[in-house]
């Protein structure tokens, strides 16, 4: 699925009407099957951008088209069908605590399932093999029948991502998939996500704090700062200077970018000459 945002502005999800816009005049287009990483300091508007793309937030100005259609002009059924074809994974895993992992993962199929099949699946999960395959991609196959609240934070996040495998979405919008994961797990999860998107030829847009991982796994990086696009470049052109300009005043968030050279190299400290008197 292809996306096109044109001079789009949007308010934050819980903002008052006269508050400052979270996104301002954003112009972005994503081709079918492309994989894009959105990076930027906290408060830049990454979550708002993903919610706008997922038709979960109405833009206050500008236009959004998905596959050439304006989603907010569609009928209720049309909008629902569009939402069924995309997958928004929020930052906090959307899992009810007392639900079992198998049901939580199979909930990804709900848009394509009839009501009766969903009710039957509640009593006895109808495609346990699918849930197991989905969890195995993220290293959680042994947690198939566990309850969600018995898992750790990182495991819950990966279960939320495993739902993507059960869905049939062609547009994947993932908000901070690695926030609760250690570096090894983060690497594995990112590999699994990008491989899945490539297999399905689905468009993948992810927001990330881990700049290093973004540079390693994605061919295109979009930098967001204070609600505006700072840059939109192929990964090879994203240098340390570009990153430092993006994260200026937030440099502590730019951790793990080991190839960064500091702006001002520290002066050579010359030893003080000791004069013995």
Partner 1 sequence: MPPHKLLTAAAQTTAPSHRDPAWSRRLSWSLAALVLLWPMLVLTEFKPWLLVDPASLNPTLHFLGDFLPPRFDLPFLALVARETWRTVAMATAGLVLALLLAGPMALLSVRALSVSALSGRMALGPAALRQAVRWTLVLLRSVPELIWALVFVRVVGLGPTAGVLAIALTYGGMLGKVYAEILDSGETHATNTLLRNGSGRLQAFLYGLLPQNGAELTSYTVYRWECAIRSSAVLGFVGAGGLGQQMDASMKMFSGSEVATMLLVFMALVWLADRISAWLRRGLG
Q: If binding is defined by CB under 8 A, does position 85 make contact with partner 1?
A: yes
What DSSP designation does 147 have? B
Min CB(237)–partner 1 separation in Å: 34
Q: If binding is defined by CB under 8 A, does position 81 make contact with partner 1?
A: yes
Q: Do 170 and 196 form a contact (C-beta atoms < 8 A)?
A: no
Q: Which stretch binds partner 1 (CB under 8 A): 34-42, 52-60, 127-135, 180-188?
A: 52-60
Cβ neighbour number for residue 20 with a 10 Å cutoff? 10
Q: If binding is defined by CB under 8 A, does position 120 make contact with partner 1?
A: no
Min CB(88)–partner 1 separation in Å: 6
What is the per-residue binding string for partner 1 in 160-189, x denoting contact by CB under 8 A?
-------x-x--------------------
Pairwise CA distance, residues 32 & 12, whole Å: 27
Pairwise CA distance, residues 170 & 1, whole Å: 6
* Start-to-end CA span in the chain (Å): 80
Q: If binding is defined by CB under 8 A, does position 97 make contact with partner 1?
A: yes
Q: Do 66 and 55 form a contact (C-beta atoms < 8 A)?
A: yes
Pairwise CA distance, residues 108 & 104, whole Å: 8
Q: Residue 59 or residue 223: which is nearer to partner 1 going by CB? A: 59
Q: Do 232 and 222 form a contact (C-beta atoms < 8 A)?
A: yes
Q: Rule CB under 8 A: choose which of 90, 125, 139, 154 binds partner 1.
A: 90
DSSP states of 158-172: HHHHHHHHHS--SEE
Min CB(56)–partner 1 separation in Å: 5
Q: Residue 71 or residue 186: which is nearer to partner 1 going by CB? A: 71
What DSSP designation does 22 have? S
Cβ neighbour number for residue 70 with a 10 Å cutoff? 10
Q: Rule CB under 8 A: choose which of 49, 50, 57, 166 binds partner 1.
A: 57
Q: Rule CB under 8 A: choose which of 66, 82, 102, 221 binds partner 1.
A: 82
Residues that bind partner 1 (CB under 8 A): 54-58, 76, 80-88, 90, 92, 94-99, 103, 107-108, 110-111, 113, 115, 118-119, 122, 167, 169
């Amino acid at each position: 699925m292809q996306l096109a945002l044109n001079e789009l502005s949007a308010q934050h999800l819980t903002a008052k009407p006269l508050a400052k816009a979270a996104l301002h005049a954003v112009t972005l287009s994503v081709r079918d099957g492309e994989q894009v990483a959105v990076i930027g300091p906290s408060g830049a508007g990454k979550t708002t951008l993903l919610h706008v793309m997922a038709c979960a937030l109405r833009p206050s100005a500008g236009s959004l088209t998905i596959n050439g259609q304006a989603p907010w002009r569609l009928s209720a059924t049309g909008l629902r069908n569009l939402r069924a074809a995309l997958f928004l994974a929020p930052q906090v895993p959307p899992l009810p605590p007392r639900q079992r992992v198998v049901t939580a993962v199979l909930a990804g199929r709900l848009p394509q399932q009839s009501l009766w099949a969903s009710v039957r699946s509640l009593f006895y999960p109808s495609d346990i093999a699918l849930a197991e395959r989905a969890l195995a991609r993220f290293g959680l196959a042994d947690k198939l029948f566990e309850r969600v609240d018995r898992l750790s934070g990182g495991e819950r996040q990966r279960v939320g991502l495993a739902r993507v495998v059960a869905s049939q979405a062609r547009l994947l919008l993932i908000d901070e998939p690695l926030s609760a994961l250690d570096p090894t797990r983060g690497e594995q999860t990112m590999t699994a996500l990008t491989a899945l998107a490539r297999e399905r030829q689905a468009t993948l847009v992810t927001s990330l704090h881990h700049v290093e991982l973004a540079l390693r796994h994605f061919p295109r990086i979009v930098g967001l700062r204070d609600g505006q696009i700072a840059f939109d470049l192929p990964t090879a052109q994203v240098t340390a200077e570009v990153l430092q300009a993006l994260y200026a005043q937030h440099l502590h968030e730019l951790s793990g970018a080991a190839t960064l050279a500091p702006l001002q190299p520290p002066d050579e400290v010359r030893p003080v000459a000791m004069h013995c008197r």
